[in-house]
Chain A
């Protein structure tokens, strides 16, 4: 009997920690016994590096550029614990259309039934989320992924990107697009950062999947070309990623988020800015400790 393939997309602003989180998620799910593929959808093409000892793999678009046609299996590489790694890649900066590149890469693998043939349990797309063109929406739009998780810190620009992504999800939600699983809160190292994210998910009708602190272990593992799961399996950080993987695995129903409109988002941000200012200047020390 064919098992049900679970397809997940991880979105978030550039540099927020998508690839780090995704790779640790893939590694943890793989350790749980699942067959996992990680599909990098970022022209940066470094999504799967820490699964493959810090090395880059040829991207689907690289292969397409060289050969004109691509056999799915030429673009699929194995990494840590047999995880299948694919990078969509992108055109040279300032040329061509990266969005169309993603469409091309995803369709190429789909057409060749690569997912079915590999008998996968999980495909996880790691998608650059602050690009707004339609190509980057493909994993949501075409019902390729069922669940979307967004990586965000408490930083306003990250929240802004997350909110934009929610708009995209809502847009496609009644047309069979992916729904929102929740927010993976990254680089959350103190209470007010946590309070900001909590407030945001509450306002937008979603949930936090995991609070991931900023940790030197991540950096150390990355420097040795590894995920935290592989490089520091007994660390506290690895436990946090394993917890995340467990929640993602148990997660069954995603929802349509309620994104804030621009005015609401600005209001929301300026309220928090006022509070943060008050905290930093020591005015509300007592209260701040409580949040």
Chain B
């Protein structure tokens, strides 16, 4: 991506006449397998075509911050490689054998049979195959992931629903599980698709623990089915996104009578993080004084670092003060709140590109209006499946003096380079780099984001970056 264009602008390459209709910012529903892969020792068994995994891998993992799955590497995922013969004769029997063998040869705690568009059109019955293992010690669930029904975010939700419906105990069975009022299950993050998920969840876990909760997170290092098993015991579920996983926490409320606390953004920086801590403390009725002490301590530290570079920031040759975002609803909202409330930036257009259902638009807009800024009600939020729309807006707007920063995917980096304005990658595909333990969550995250924005602005101002 950026490599091929290192010393050339897009206009030089394409003569100013190009459109980006093919830029992938989401993957097809099969991308949901990454949610299974994010839970340790859970193995997807894919009933889909050759290349399906490869396609989702690019945008969600490898080119999304150099990620790969951990307990089971992508290259060992069993797949039927659904081909024409399977379309004609049905691929169910081949899948049945594949599942039999997978169960034999893989040391996994849970197997998730997934399929894709072709097998769903033909009508292969993956449920029937999963049912072969009902009542046995081998845990097998199934989730249909036809791309014609939705993208990877939809696929993510299918996986969670499959686990809740097919793996977790029934409402009846769960009655004997005693609730732990301090336990909080965390939802709202789409692993892998949210490039920063690993570190975000690590830091979030730390924070929740610091303010007196027992966080239960199912994705990432050292969690796995032990964490999944604990889901019904939670005192409440925490949802940290405007809309993703709302259906999941609602289902858990219905099934296990677990209430949920909905905070629409993943907090970035002191204002949001402080507000989040206060609201969750109030919701759960936990120690307010301790929470305030925690906030004070963290804010002191945040401002210490800010002050530590204040002179450089104020004398930075490029002073970004406006921004475009091209990202998911969660990321866009979280970034906007920090950039507006803490850094005093002004939003230009916010593009939300994960194909949010129309029924959610109004609620998400209300979340964007909830800003410490008098222009908040006029904020321009554009829901679109056209990831290239942002490019067109940026090119048509006044970006002189490099005062405008773009936060988006590595595709948007191309736009930023052409317009020679600052850019920070914040979502999939993040780029051909290692994302490592980076996250913009919390107090440190706010600082990190501020640094990334100003560093790129300064570099562009000095002409050291094209």
Given contacts A96-B122, A97-B121, A97-B122, contact A91 B84 (CB under 8 A): no
Given contacts A97-B121, A97-B122, contact A64 B92 (CB under 8 A): no
- Point out the residues of chain B lying under 8 angstroms from A100, CB to CB: 84, 87-88, 122
Besides the known contacts A65-B85, A95-B92, A97-B123, 10 further A-B residue pairs in the complex with CB atoms under 8 A apart: A61-B89, A64-B88, A91-B88, A91-B89, A91-B90, A95-B90, A96-B90, A100-B88, A100-B122, A101-B88
Complex CA gap A68/B89 in Å reads: 12
> Within B56-100, which residues are at the interface with A (CB < 8 Å)?
84-92
Which of A92, A95, A104 is close to B84, meaning CB atoms less than 8 Å apart? A104
Could you tell me if A96 and B84 are in contact, using CB atoms closer than 8 angstroms?
no
Q: Give the shortest distance, in Å, between A237 (CB) and chain B (any CB).
A: 37
Q: Give the shortest distance, in Å, between A133 (CB) and chain B (any CB).
A: 10
Could you tell me if B85 and A68 are in contact, using CB atoms closer than 8 angstroms?
yes
Chain B 103-136 near chain A by CB (<8 Å), digits 1 or 0: 0000000000000000001111000000000000
Q: Give the shortest distance, in Å, between A59 (CB) and chain B (any CB).
A: 11
- Point out the residues of chain B lying under 8 angstroms from A104, CB to CB: 84, 88
Could you tell me if B85 and A92 are in contact, using CB atoms closer than 8 angstroms?
no
**Interface positions of B (Cβ within 8 A of A):** 84-92, 121-124
**Interface positions of A (Cβ within 8 A of B):** 61, 64-65, 68, 91-92, 95-97, 100-101, 104
- Point out the residues of chain A lying under 8 angstroms from B84, CB to CB: 100, 104
Complex CA gap A64/B88 in Å reads: 10
Complex CA gap A104/B122 in Å reads: 15
- Point out the residues of chain B lying under 8 angstroms from A65, CB to CB: 85, 89
- Point out the residues of chain A lying under 8 angstroms from B86, CB to CB: 96
Complex CA gap A113/B39 in Å reads: 53
The chain B residue with its CB closest to the CB of A103 is B88
The chain B residue with its CB closest to the CB of A61 is B88
Leading 6 A-B pairs by shortest Cβ distance: A95-B90, A96-B90, A96-B89, A101-B88, A91-B89, A100-B87
Q: Give the shortest distance, in Å, between A43 (CB) and chain B (any CB).
A: 11
Q: Give the shortest distance, in Å, between B418 (CB) and chain A (any CB).
A: 42
Complex CA gap A92/B91 in Å reads: 12
Q: Give the shortest distance, in Å, between B304 (CB) and chain A (any CB).
A: 66
The chain A residue with its CB closest to the CB of B121 is A97
- Point out the residues of chain B lying under 8 angstroms from A91, CB to CB: 88-90
Complex CA gap A61/B89 in Å reads: 9
- Listed A/B pairs (7) with beta-carbon separation below 8 Å: A64-B85, A65-B85, A68-B85, A91-B89, A96-B87, A101-B88, A104-B88
Complex CA gap A222/B94 in Å reads: 39
The chain A residue with its CB closest to the CB of B85 is A64
Could you tell me if B88 and A92 are in contact, using CB atoms closer than 8 angstroms?
no
Could you tell me if A97 and B87 are in contact, using CB atoms closer than 8 angstroms?
yes
Complex CA gap A100/B85 in Å reads: 9
Q: Give the shortest distance, in Å, between B85 (CB) and chain A (any CB).
A: 7
- Point out the residues of chain B lying under 8 angstroms from A68, CB to CB: 85
- Point out the residues of chain B lying under 8 angstroms from A92, CB to CB: 89-90
Q: Give the shortest distance, in Å, between B119 (CB) and chain A (any CB).
A: 10
- Point out the residues of chain A lying under 8 angstroms from B88, CB to CB: 61, 64, 91, 96-97, 100-101, 104
- Point out the residues of chain A lying under 8 angstroms from B122, CB to CB: 96-97, 100
Q: Give the shortest distance, in Å, between B184 (CB) and chain A (any CB).
A: 46
Complex CA gap A91/B92 in Å reads: 12
The chain B residue with its CB closest to the CB of A91 is B89
Complex CA gap A127/B92 in Å reads: 27
Complex CA gap A64/B83 in Å reads: 13
Complex CA gap A96/B88 in Å reads: 5
Q: Give the shortest distance, in Å, between B148 (CB) and chain A (any CB).
A: 15
Complex CA gap A96/B124 in Å reads: 7
Q: Give the shortest distance, in Å, between A265 (CB) and chain B (any CB).
A: 29
The chain B residue with its CB closest to the CB of A68 is B85
- Point out the residues of chain A lying under 8 angstroms from B90, CB to CB: 91-92, 95-97
Complex CA gap A254/B91 in Å reads: 40
Q: Give the shortest distance, in Å, between A110 (CB) and chain B (any CB).
A: 15
The chain B residue with its CB closest to the CB of A102 is B88
Complex CA gap A61/B91 in Å reads: 14
Residue of B87, B90, B121 ringed by the most chain A CB atoms within 10 A: B87
The chain B residue with its CB closest to the CB of A96 is B90
Complex CA gap A195/B377 in Å reads: 72
- Point out the residues of chain A lying under 8 angstroms from B87, CB to CB: 96-97, 100
Complex CA gap A246/B88 in Å reads: 37
Complex CA gap A65/B88 in Å reads: 9
Q: Give the shortest distance, in Å, between A134 (CB) and chain B (any CB).
A: 11
Complex CA gap A95/B90 in Å reads: 5
- Point out the residues of chain B lying under 8 angstroms from A97, CB to CB: 87-88, 90, 121-123
Complex CA gap A2/B123 in Å reads: 44
Complex CA gap A101/B122 in Å reads: 11
- Point out the residues of chain A lying under 8 angstroms from B89, CB to CB: 61, 65, 91-92, 95-96, 101
Q: Give the shortest distance, in Å, between B151 (CB) and chain A (any CB).
A: 25
Q: Give the shortest distance, in Å, between A100 (CB) and chain B (any CB).
A: 5
Q: Give the shortest distance, in Å, between B111 (CB) and chain A (any CB).
A: 23
- Point out the residues of chain B lying under 8 angstroms from A61, CB to CB: 88-89
Q: Give the shortest distance, in Å, between A222 (CB) and chain B (any CB).
A: 30
Residue of A65, A68, A100 ringed by the most chain B CB atoms within 10 A: A100
The chain A residue with its CB closest to the CB of B122 is A97
The chain A residue with its CB closest to the CB of B88 is A101
Complex CA gap A186/B158 in Å reads: 52
Q: Give the shortest distance, in Å, between A260 (CB) and chain B (any CB).
A: 30
Complex CA gap A100/B91 in Å reads: 13
- Point out the residues of chain A lying under 8 angstroms from B91, CB to CB: 96
- Point out the residues of chain A lying under 8 angstroms from B123, CB to CB: 95, 97
- Point out the residues of chain A lying under 8 angstroms from B121, CB to CB: 97
Q: Give the shortest distance, in Å, between A90 (CB) and chain B (any CB).
A: 8
Complex CA gap A65/B123 in Å reads: 19
- Point out the residues of chain A lying under 8 angstroms from B92, CB to CB: 95
Q: Give the shortest distance, in Å, between B50 (CB) and chain A (any CB).
A: 16
- Point out the residues of chain A lying under 8 angstroms from B124, CB to CB: 95
- Point out the residues of chain A lying under 8 angstroms from B85, CB to CB: 64-65, 68
The chain B residue with its CB closest to the CB of A65 is B89
